[in-house]
Every structure is written in C-alpha cells, then in structure tokens.
Amino acid sequence: MKKHLIFIGNKFTHNVPLQEYILRNAQRQLGFIDKISFFKDDDTAWFLYLQEELNAAQKLLIVTSKQNFSTVGKVLCTATNDSQILRDGMLIPQKASLYEPRSYLLENSKNFVNVLQMDEGEKIPEILFVHEEIKGVIHIFEEDKETIINILTPIAQMYEVHFDITQIVEGWQRVDVYSKKYGDITKFIEASKKLLPKKLIASSNIIEYIISRLSHVSKKVTFAESCTGGLLAYYFTKNNGASNILEGSLVTYSNGLKENWLAVDHNVLEQNGAVSAEVVAEMSDGALNVSGADYALSISGIAGDSGGTDEKPVGTVYIGARSQTQHVQRHYHFNGDRNYVQHQSALMAIKMLLLLDRETFF
C-alpha cells in the first residue's frame, strides 16, 4: 500500500528542520514515502484534495498545526459521513479506531488516515499505522546492481522475500528486504552473507553500525575535511554514541590551516595544489598524528559551483583513508551541484573507511 505524507501549514514549508524531523520519523516508521504534498494555511484547495485522496487505496499521514487540527477533522468527517467527538481534550472523528495525544487513526474500506498535530519545539506524536510488512536492510560493497540481483534473486525466491536496490555511491549498494515474517528475512540475510563474504553488512544505519563495531574493539576515528566543511563529522555526530569513537574533525579550508594544524608540507601544497592525492595523504597523516586515533579520513576537492579548471574541473575530489598500518587515497569526479558533491564525497569516505579494515567491519 502506497504512503502519502501531507503537510498542512506554513511552518512545515518554511521551517525545514521541523519538516525534516517529521519526515525522518515517518520514514523510520513507514519506510519509503511515495508522495509528499504541502499546503499553506490560507490554501483552501486542500479541502477538496483531501477528499479526493480518500478515494485511493493508500496510507495517508496528515501533519498539521494545532490551528488546523480540528479543521482537518471536520473535512474528514464530511468525506466519511462522520461527526467529531471530544476525547482526551481533542476533537476527533467519532469513527477513529485508535488515538493517542495529538494523534488519531481512521480506517475505512480503501485506506488508513493518521492525523498528527505538530508544532515547533514539540516531540512528534505517535504514528499509529500498523506494520503490514517487516523490513531488513543490508549494504553490499564492490558489486554492481546486476550482479547483486543475480546473486540474491534465487535466495529471495527460496525464502519468499522481495528486495529493492539503491546505489548510495559507486561500489556501495543498499538493499531493502521485505517479508511478512522476521525469520524469512534473517535466513535470507544469512544465506546472502555466505555468498558475499567481506562484502555485506546487515544494518539499517551504517553509521550506527560503524559506531558499534569501533566501540566493541575500542578504536577511534578522526577526520580532516576541506571541501565537505564538517559534513563528514555531521554524518557521525547526528547518531548516538559518536563520542565513543570520534576524536574530532579538523576543517582545514585554507592552505594555512592545512600547514599549521595538519603539518602538510608547504612545498607539497605549492607543487601539487590543495586538491591532490599528495595533500590528502599528508592531511590524513596529520589528523592521525594530532589525534592519536586508529583511523583518519581526509577530503579535499572542488565542490563548486565555481573554482574548477581544465585540469581539475568542478567535482574533482581526493579522499584519503589511513589506519596505523596502511593508507589509500582515491581520485573521484562527482557530478551534481555543490551540496550533492559534498554528500557524495562524505559517503565515499565512509565507504573507504569500511573497506580499509575488513576484519573489523565485516
């Protein structure tokens, strides 16, 4: 059944952190959201739109402010021949099958409707949809999509699961696995891992997995970032437990800080430029030395939208990954705008960390 998220209220359009907070929780509970719609406070078009959407077989998650909460209930009652009733201080449709503070669920022959009241600074109310399917997530590295399909399809047929594949960055595929029974997903993952040793990680959140693995072996990581401006550190620090494994991140945007903070050799910078394999090698070495961590990742590139040359066009990025015993650096060219290049760079660095120490992470 498709899932449709509808925001009603100006705050959900203009307050992006609030919008993203709600979307994160909706995706965590429901998985992929098929459609997202926005309506402002003074846009009455949502009255008719909502009535039309009630004719489709889907799950509707409606998020609205306190100001519009009872109005949404009236529209739903009109469409379903119902009336509102006061329950626990909320005016909600009488036919609501479940309700919690600031949340209620309506069920009819075609769809399920969950209405949430949400305002700034509040914790999101409980989402009341019942799970129809159970989901697992695996990450597969250094295999292309077609090869993964050929490997996983016979196993999926054996255990009656189905899966979708999404490429995160080149050489990193996320596989979402669906079934109606936990046991079948577990058996599918176990069988898949036997065919893909040292290439498969079973985890819905790869950063939480890294934090768990490094915490288990009492190891730490540090970063030296230039074009990503701290984004790599944010990928880690937005997850619980990051302080257990992250020493810190040095955002050395200028050449001066690369020299003074990371001890990058001035002549190396002059001869090769800040965006080069030689510089990211010294950046990761410097980060490792200054922090005493077990692993260091370094990134330097031209995120754009300007600053490129014929030799080093926009999207040119060098990434270094270093442990106490080995070092690798890679040259990439990412397409997209400035922000997309930055995200691709950070994700590729995470992939390089995983592949740097297969014994620990796989």
Residue-wise pLDDT for 19-67, tens only, equals: 999 999 999 888 889 999 999 999 999 999 998 999 888 999 999 999 9
Polymer length in residues for the chain:
362
Residue 31 has a pLDDT of 85
pTM: 0.85
Residue 181 has a pLDDT of 74
| pLDDT surpasses 70 at 355 | yes
What are the angstrom distances between the C-alpha of 185 and each of 130, 141, 161, 206?
19, 20, 7, 18
Q: Which of 6, 263, 275, 209 is nearest to 118 (CA)?
A: 6
Distance CA 181, CA 200 (A): 21
Residue 1 has a pLDDT of 82
Q: With DSSP H G I counted as helix, E B as strand and the rest as coil, what are the percentages for the chain, rounded to 5? A: 40, 30, 30
| pLDDT surpasses 80 at 361 | yes
Average pLDDT estimate for 259-276: 97
Whether the CB-CB separation of 283 and 225 falls below 8 Å is answered with no
Under DSSP, is residue 153 helix (H, G, I), strand (E, B) or coil? helix
Residue 132 has a pLDDT of 67
| pLDDT surpasses 90 at 182 | no
% of the chain at pLDDT higher than 70: 99
